[in-house]
Amino acid sequence: MQAFRLATFNLENLDWSATRPDAFARRTGALRPLLEALDADILCLQEIHAQRLHKHGARQYIALDQLLATTRYAAFHRATTVRPGADAPADVHNLAILSRWPMRAQRQIHHDIVARWDWRPPREADGSEAEPAPIVWDRPLLYASVELPNGLALHVVNLHLRAPRAIPVATARGLGSSRAQIEGQFVAALKREGQALEARLFVETLFDAEPDALIAVAGDFNADEHDAPTRLLRGGRDEGAAGARVLIPLEERVEPSRRFTVIHAGRPTLIDHLFASPALAAAWRETSILNEGLQDEVYAPDPIDASLHAPVVAKFELSSK
């Protein structure tokens, strides 16, 4: 049997500054025990910032390199995102996939399947029209095909969907109007659900090539188990539906009292997910959410020590090929 552990963890704006070494040391000191406790063979990370060593230098993953330097993940194979249209990371909210084993392929996906479009707000009562709002994903998806020791390929999709917070939309009544807020909330939903659609359609291409593919979709969905993005990504007609292409939410196999990854104003919520294809779910053995001592994101002191998200890890056992 080939046993392995796959995890996802939002690192909560991981950043580094040469002028604040104590603050970074405090964060790494809080994050490293969590990373070690995951004992992951494949790890999906979100919210990684990139920094410059010099004012005009290219952005690099300095914070990530330093965080991992003294952990089991330091020598892992790595796939990371770049700013769409560029060859260097974005300043904030990059993604990474770390793997104990080599990657056969890796790529980022940003409007490769679902094209950008403009949403035109409805006309005002006086007939005036606002400028169209561009629907563009905030960041790419990240994909890697990991070669497992038994020779099989594990397809991993790491994603961080947009938070459901209103986007400023220009209206004749001004950005602060209730109409601007309402339309901005709708635009945010279009971005979040639209990127979930692109992720799901990419998964469809994996199934097209390999009906019994081992697929994991993991990350911060910014949506609970009943929201549209999770329903889109599952691919079933209804929650709990079965089928050859339905993705199974492995985090929902945790006991209800521990089934949360964020606490918001006293309310535990599950917005970080780990979905598996039927073939991968058949090899599932255990899921854990490391949320002991998790701080409430509304009331947590600033700066935080570790993360306001709890990591999720699943264990699998695959038969030898």
172, pLDDT greater than 60: no
Dump pLDDT digits (tens) for 68-113: 999 999 999 999 999 999 999 999 999 999 999 999 999 999 999 9
What are the domain boundaries of the chain? 2-318
228, pLDDT greater than 70: yes
Dump pLDDT digits (tens) for 253-290: 999 999 999 999 999 999 999 999 999 999 999 999 99
What fold characterizes domain 2-318? Deoxyribonuclease I; Chain A (3.60.10)
162, pLDDT greater than 90: yes
pLDDT of residue 107: 98
Cα separation, 70 vs 229, in Å, equals 36
Q: Do the Cβ atoms of 145 and 104 come closer than 8 Å? A: yes
Structure tokens at 261: 């990854």
pLDDT of residue 174: 62
What is the overall mean pLDDT for the chain?
Answer: 94
pLDDT of residue 309: 98
What pTM does this model have? 0.95
